[in-house]
């Protein structure tokens, strides 16, 4: 018998900004994602405005905005039981601070969710996935400004009411703990011009606090609208190993890990952990944390922990702390193989993390991002036999199965992404994660034609067997895939 429960949510995950395109259609405003170019620096130091001589891959992306019906038909054929996407905040409130929502944006997600439900696919919705309206950054300074709590509150109340009979599973923010390494996209704050580390930390922790309050208010409001709503937080939680058994390596790795788990501690336990006071004192942080804020945080704890997992990292005491969308960047691990982007492949770490989080929080887990980016092109027969992806999937499903046997309560697993989309970290299309190939190149050229890869039928087999049929040897020779 399968280790996975009968109601396990097998699915796929995307973000609106990486797939939809239609970046100004039907009244949508600009978001942070709409000003990100192609390249390794796209989520670091960038101008907060559009340039006429720059290509922005998110503007068209894979045109999911116009092609979602046919794509969802493919997802249904794949056998997905759920589909995680985000609502683009700037489709609903173009600037973010309007009093009334944009009806055209609301209608789009009505149609999208209706299509998913008609195909038997449960919508899983991220409320804010690196898509803060740009106006809230340039005018208000992003989440460092408490005004965004009110704007987010208004936004969430609208979508909870509108989709109360369509969406049950929500997540308030995507990878909120990236506020330290990717502050612009995760917390909508630009801190690279701040030379003082004390001032930089002050902005990051103030933005984080304001997001905690907003998240808790969303939980409270969402439960009022529909008591069945399950509202989670979402963190990037690839583990950090010490590079050696040197106690300095071990303890500094622990401190780095706790920097991420801090976000889960507040959102899942409903209070600031005791260790945070030392961070405040030693860095001389002046934060606007009000008693009523703490009451809201205590009353609005999240129901489950959604998290992304791609790789592990290896940390040595004193090394510079850097990160990207996959997590922290550390030393090379001699015991692990890497993909073509240098990301270590470490399926045992997924089991490790599930146990770590279960021990710490004793709440349901939802693995909402896991996958491997590969360089791929159609072969002479017009197909892609992606053995490496199938092997990666097999090993991570096995690790998840072992975690369930360990006693971890895992709600579901949404592969990132079931269809090729724009990379969040680099803006590339040619860093491909999907079971479905999209004919588009890094420079924006291509027909956008969809082609099923060999892994499409493999994941279909995994889902249909509820995680039991993991042999992919039948796909070694492969057959020509249909468009």
Question: How remote is the C-alpha of 212 from its chain's centroid?
Answer: 17
* CA–CA dist 159, 225 (Å, integer): 10
- Alpha helices (H) along 79-196: 89-92, 103-118, 134-138, 147-162, 183-187
Residue 323: left (phi > 0), alpha (psi -120 to 50), or beta?
Answer: beta
* CA–CA dist 90, 31 (Å, integer): 6
Question: How remote is the C-alpha of 51 from its chain's centroid?
Answer: 27
Contact between 374 and 392 (Cβ < 8 Å): no
What are the angstrom distances between the C-alpha of 226 and each of 62, 134, 168, 247? 33, 30, 9, 49
* CA–CA dist 397, 4 (Å, integer): 10
* CA–CA dist 2, 339 (Å, integer): 30
Count CB atoms within 10 A of the CB of residue 143: 31
Question: Which DSSP symbol is given to 245?
Answer: S
314: closest CA among 336, 329, 335, 326?
329
136: closest CA among 184, 106, 97, 103?
97
Query: Which structure tokens are listed for 329?
Result: 């960047």
Query: Which structure tokens are listed for 136?
Result: 């809230």
369 tagged catalytic? yes
- Alpha helices (H) along 119-246: 134-138, 147-162, 183-187, 197-225
Say which of 20, 60, 202, 369 is annotated catalytic. Answer: 369
Q: Is 268 exposed, middle or buried (0-12, 13-18, 19+ CB in 10 A)?
A: buried
C-alpha dihedral over 376, 380, 383, 384, to 10 degrees? -30
Question: How remote is the C-alpha of 274 from its chain's centroid?
Answer: 28
Q: Is 253 exposed, middle or buried (0-12, 13-18, 19+ CB in 10 A)?
A: buried
Find all residues with CB under 8 Å of 291, minimum gap 6, and list them. Answer: none
Backbone angles phi, psi at 306, to 5 degrees: -90, 140
Residues carrying an active site annotation: 369
């Amino acid at each position: 018998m399968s280790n996975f429960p009968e109601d396990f949510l097998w699915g796929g995950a995307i973000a609106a900004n990486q797939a939809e395109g239609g970046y100004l259609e039907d009244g949508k405003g600009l978001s942070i994602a709409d000003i990100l170019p192609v390249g390794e620096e796209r989520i670091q130091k960038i101008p907060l405005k559009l340039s006429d001589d720059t290509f922005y891959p998110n503007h068209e992306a894979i045109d999911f905005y116009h092609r979602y019906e046919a794509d969802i038909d493919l997802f249904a054929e794949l056998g997905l039981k759920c589909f995680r996407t985000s609502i683009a905040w700037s489709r609903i409130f173009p600037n973010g601070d309007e009093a009334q929502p944009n009806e055209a944006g609301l209608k789009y997600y009505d149609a999208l969710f209706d299509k998913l439900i008609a195909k038997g696919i449960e919508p899983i919705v991220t409320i804010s996935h690196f898509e803060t309206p740009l106006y809230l950054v340039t005018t208000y300074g992003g989440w460092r400004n408490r005004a965004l709590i009110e704007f987010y509150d208004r936004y969430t109340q609208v979508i909870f009411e509108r989709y109360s009979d369509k969406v049950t599973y929500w997540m308030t923010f995507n990878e909120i703990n990236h506020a330290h390494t990717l502050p612009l996209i995760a917390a909508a704050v630009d801190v690279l011009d701040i030379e003082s580390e004390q001032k930089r930390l002050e902005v990051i922790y103030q933005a984080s606090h304001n997001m905690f309050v907003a998240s808790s208010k969303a939980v409270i409001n969402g439960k009022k609208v529909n008591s069945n709503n399950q509202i989670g937080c979402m963190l990037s939680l690839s583990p950090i190993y010490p590079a050696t058994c040197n106690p300095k390596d071990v303890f500094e790795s622990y401190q780095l890990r706790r920097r991420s788990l801090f976000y889960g501690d507040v959102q899942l336990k409903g209070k600031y952990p005791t260790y945070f006071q030392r961070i405040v004192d030693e860095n001389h942080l002046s934060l606007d944390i009000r008693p009523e804020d703490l009451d809201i945080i205590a009353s609005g704890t999240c129901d489950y922990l959604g998290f992304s997992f791609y790789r592990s990292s290896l940390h040595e005491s004193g090394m510079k702390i850097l990160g990207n969308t996959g997590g922290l960047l550390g030393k090379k691990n001699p015991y692990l193989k890497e993909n073509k982007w240098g990301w270590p492949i470490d399926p045992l770490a997924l089991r490790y993390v599930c146990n770590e989080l279960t021990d710490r929080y004793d709440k349901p887990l939802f693995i909402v991002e896991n996958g491997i980016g590969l360089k791929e092109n159609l072969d002479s027969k017009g197909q892609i036999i992606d053995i490496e992806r199938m092997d990666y999937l097999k090993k991570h499903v096995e690790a998840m199965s072992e975690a369930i046997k360990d006693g971890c309560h895992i709600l579901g697993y949404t592969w990132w992404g079931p269809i090729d989309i724009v990379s969040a970290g680099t803006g590339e299309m040619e860093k491909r994660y999907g079971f479905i190939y999209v004919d588009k190149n890094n420079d924006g050229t291509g027909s956008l034609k969809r082609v099923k890869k060999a892994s499409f039928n493999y994941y279909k087999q995994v889902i249909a067997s509820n995680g039991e049929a993991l042999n992919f040897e039948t796909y070694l020779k492969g057959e020509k895939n249909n468009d």
